[in-house]
Structure 1
Amino acid sequence: MEHLPGEDFMQVMHVNVNATFMLTQVLLPLLRRSTDASVAFTSSSVGRKGRAQWGAYGVSKFATEGLMQTLADELEGVTSVRANSINPGATRTGMRAQAYPDENPQNNPAPEDIMPVYLYLMGPDSKGINGQALNAQ
């Protein structure tokens, strides 16, 4: 955190927190019309326990968890919309390859391999699940 440029911090917060908030806020009126709507926020393990060198990304994922918890609590009992978060874990993405250049990407699942937890939260089998932080792996 000591050497993290403020502009970099703000950019990560804007993408991971502000954009998530604004998109969710704009879509809520439409989601409320559904009898089975779900918001699934993508989080991270570093949004649940701080770790050195994760700087703005970790802070932004803590904020994502807080956004999910607050929204879930606000919606509970007054609408059928539910809100949860998913920690995808180490996944074979370009971002992961950039952060861990010496890691063998084949050791991590491809994005499509972790989709079942997203599909579960977005589908009818997860009715009643609200305010939970799930792990995809």
Structure 2
Amino acid sequence: MKNYQAPNQFLANKIIMVTGATDGIGKQAAIHYASYGATVILLGRNTRKLEMVYDEIEGLGYPQPAFIPLNLQNTAPEQYQQVAEVIEKEFGRLDGLLHNASDLGLLSPIEHFDEETWFRVMQVNVNATYLLSKYCLPLLKKADKASMVFTSSGVGQQGRAYWGAYSVSKFATEGMMQVLADELEKTTIKVNSINPGATQTKMRANAFPGEDPQTLPTTEAIMPAYLWLMDLEQLESHGQAINARDFLS
């Protein structure tokens, strides 16, 4: 995997949606997908930031993206259906879906965990991911081949004290990925999860405020894994938990 080289323009004419596309890994993934020819649908809660990423992609001369403002914290189920209907009307299908948006919440013992924060983290990291998957699956099935990628975490594979709702939500993310992978085994949709690992992001800085970010890989450095998971001509992985660090050179 370390030697993976994304083919030039291998995402030409592909439609890929990225959630949490305004910052960090989501923004970097969206720009990278566009740089290889994809038409990227940017999904996030901050319209101004969405417009900035949109302008950046256009300014680089990549295919014109689209964006959908959506606050995963308080969006009703029917609004996710409306998102899928808009995509179907404008593009007819989805070739890829990267579930990147996540809420860290707070680090606290479960005994003292704030209940409102717990429910919010579960809403963003689990419920919203489920709803978006549910309503976008028909669009993914319309593609010749498609990839759905869930964002996991090391604390979603091994529980760690004080990581509370975030850790529990990432265990649920892994479970959702595995269930969907089994359900879609005989289809042309590949379903996997990705653990980005410790990376230079705002979320990492909030979780580890005393850590020197210069000791961590940049979001750009881990992009080979994200590109590989959208390489529909080469991708054979299905139902697997992928570690982005395995792709670092």
Where 1:34 maps in the other structure, the secondary structure is coil
The residue type paired with residue 193 of structure 2 is S
Residue 228 of structure 2 corresponds to 120
Larger Rg, first or second structure (1 or 2): 2
TM-score with structure 1 setting the length: 0.95
Instruction: Give the aligned length.
Output: 135
Structure with a larger share of its residues in helix: 1
Residue 35 of structure 1, CA deviation: 1.8
* Cα separation, 2, equivalents of 1:17 and 1:61: 8
The structure showing larger relative contact order (alpha-carbon pairs under 8 Å, at least 6 residues apart) is 1
Q: Establish whether residue 53 from structure 1 lines up as the match of residue 162 from structure 2.
A: yes
Give unmatched runs, 5+ long, in structure 1. none
Give unmatched runs, 5+ long, in structure 2. 1-109
TM-score with structure 2 setting the length: 0.53
- Aligned counterpart in structure 2 of residue 13 of structure 1, from 122, 130, 136: 122
Q: Establish whether residue 73 from structure 1 lines up as the match of residue 186 from structure 2.
A: no
1:1-137 to 2 correspondence within 5 Å?
1-77=110-186, 79-123=187-231, 124-126=233-235, 128-137=236-245
Per-residue deviation, residues 74-108 of structure 1 (Å, max 9, x unmatched): 0001x101100000000101111111111000111
Residue 42 of structure 1, CA deviation: 0.6
Percentage of pairs with the same residue? 59
* Cα separation, 1, equivalents of 2:132 and 2:169: 16
Q: Which runs of 4+ in 1 moved over 2 A?
A: none
Where 1:111 maps in the other structure, the secondary structure is coil
* Cα separation, 2, equivalents of 1:107 and 1:125: 32
Where 2:242 maps in the other structure, the secondary structure is strand
* Cα separation, 1, equivalents of 2:230 and 2:178: 17
- Report the RMSD for the aligned CA atoms in angstroms: 0.8
Per-residue deviation, residues 21-45 of structure 1 (Å, max 9, x unmatched): 1111111101001121000111001
